[in-house]
Amino acid sequence: MTATPPSAFVPPYLLQQRAADRPADPLVSCILPAYNESENIVPMLQTLHGLLSEAGFRHEFIVVDDGSRDDTVEQVMSQIELLPVTLLQLSRNFGKELALTAGIDHAHGDVAVLIDSDFQHPPEMVPEFLLQWRAGYDMVYSVRSSRDNETLGKRLFTRVFYTLLNSGARHKIPENTQDFRVMDRCVLEALRQMPERNRFMKGLYNWVGFTQLPVETHTKERRAGKSSFNFFSLLNLGLTGLTAFSNVPLRMWTLIGSAISLASILYASWELIHTLLFGNDQPGWPTLAVAISFLGGVQLLSIGILGEYIGRIFSEVKQRPIYLLSRISRAEQDKP
């Protein structure tokens, strides 16, 4: 466990107050998004079951099958009479952010755990996170200790993304946080009130506030299978995050536009004076070509950025459901 960074400081009286509200025998809901995790999901459920039983926490598992193409569903169904599992099947692949949203909407617990199904988030940290929750933190979240196991390209991309996202933001979204976290019921309820379709969960967790504790964790390699995120899905998530949490890309064009206008006025004045004094002996082709192509590029780029925002507005105003469920399965004795 690492020391709490100063930005995450919570006054002790607040922690005491929150700790006093914790139920004596809480129900823990573990939310596991799963997309093609047939080899990982059962060992993951068994590991978590062992850890939570040992630590004396009552628990339920909410597995969200995000339209897997392998036998993930069958694997989970094989455990349904053995473990307290609820399986939510989405009607197709909606992506991790929406799978998490579905899990959050269906959790009954006093506290929820969000954890990947591929063992990259160490399950043995869960009881430790829950103890911090008991101590009064409403959200205990994992921060990666290093990104060494990632490619240089991905690290650079993340750096640029967070710099852009947080520049000028009042409420900064911490870098290197993960979805791996424990959240009190009050946080779950706050998240359920967020109607947006373009969901960037890390931004939402941060936006809701409450008492938060970052904990440094060592991310491991995936146990089996391969990551579902490629460059384009990351780019898409990055753009969702930027457009949902930052106006900087929009404002930037006001500044760039003003700077270009100012520069062109200065240039025009200089040309005028030069022509009056020395006459014009140059046809000026290069200047024209450069100016036109530069401005054309800047205009297209800024229209593109406007388009990104308008695209998101369009998907919000359509008011479609955030995700669709095709089936909910749970053991007979667990049925509400």
Interface ranges with Mg ion (CB under 5 A): 118, 120
37 binds, among ligand UDP, Mg ion, none (CB under 5 to 8 A by kind): ligand UDP
Residue with smaller CB distance to ligand UDP, 145 or 167: 145
Kind and range of the H or E run holding 31: strand 27-34
Nearer to Mg ion, 118 or 184 (CB): 118
Nearest distance, CB of residue 169 and Mg ion, angstroms: 27
**What does 95 interact with, of Mg ion, ligand UDP, none (CB < 5 to 8 A by kind)?**
ligand UDP
> What residue ranges bind ligand UDP (CB under 6 A)?
33-35, 37, 66, 93, 95-96, 99, 116-118, 120, 222, 227-229
Q: Residue 322: how many CB atoms within 10 A of its CB?
A: 16
If the CB atoms of residues 39 and 196 are measured against ligand UDP, the closer one turns out to be: 39
Strands (E), 96-169: 111-114, 139-144
**Closest CB to ligand UDP among 86 and 211?**
86
**3-state DSSP assignment of residue 329:** strand
Backbone angles phi, psi at 284, to 5 degrees: 80, 20
Instruction: Give the Cα separation of 183 and 185 in Å (integer).
Output: 7
In degrees and rounded to multiples of 5, residue 308 shows phi and psi of -60, -45
Residue 309's nearest CA partner among 258, 252, 261 is 252
Choose the one of ligand UDP, Mg ion, none that binds residue 294, judging by a C-beta under 5 to 8 angstroms depending on kind.
none
DSSP class of residue 153? H
Contacts with 54 (C-beta within 8 Å, 6 or more apart), sequence order: 127
Q: Which of residues 150 and 196 has its CB atom nearest to Mg ion in the complex?
A: 150
Find the shortest distance in angstroms from Cβ 96 to ligand UDP: 4
The distance of closest approach from Cβ of residue 82 to ligand UDP in the complex, given in angstroms and rounded to an integer, is 21
